[in-house]
Amino acid sequence: MGSFSKKDSRLKIRRDVALRTNLKKRKIYLKKNKKKNNDSTI
């Protein structure tokens, strides 16, 4: 049981990190898209 909980917490940490990096990438992607959209509309 102890080894399982340790493995579980490690997976949780990895998932949190992945989510965080995805959010960062998405924010950057959205910023780029906003710039492109603004340029095309003007």
What ranges do the domains of the chain cover?
A: 1-42
Per-residue pLDDT tens over the stretch 1-42:
556 678 888 999 999 999 999 999 999 888 888 777 666 655
Alpha helices for the chain (secondary structure H) = 2-41
Per-residue pLDDT at 1: 52
pTM: 0.51
Per-residue pLDDT at 19: 93
DSSP code of residue 42 = -
Per-residue pLDDT at 30: 85
Q: Name the residue type at position 24.
A: K
Q: CA 27 → CA 18, 20, 31, 33, 41, distances in Å? A: 14, 11, 6, 10, 21
> What are the structure tokens assigned to 19, written together?
């989510």
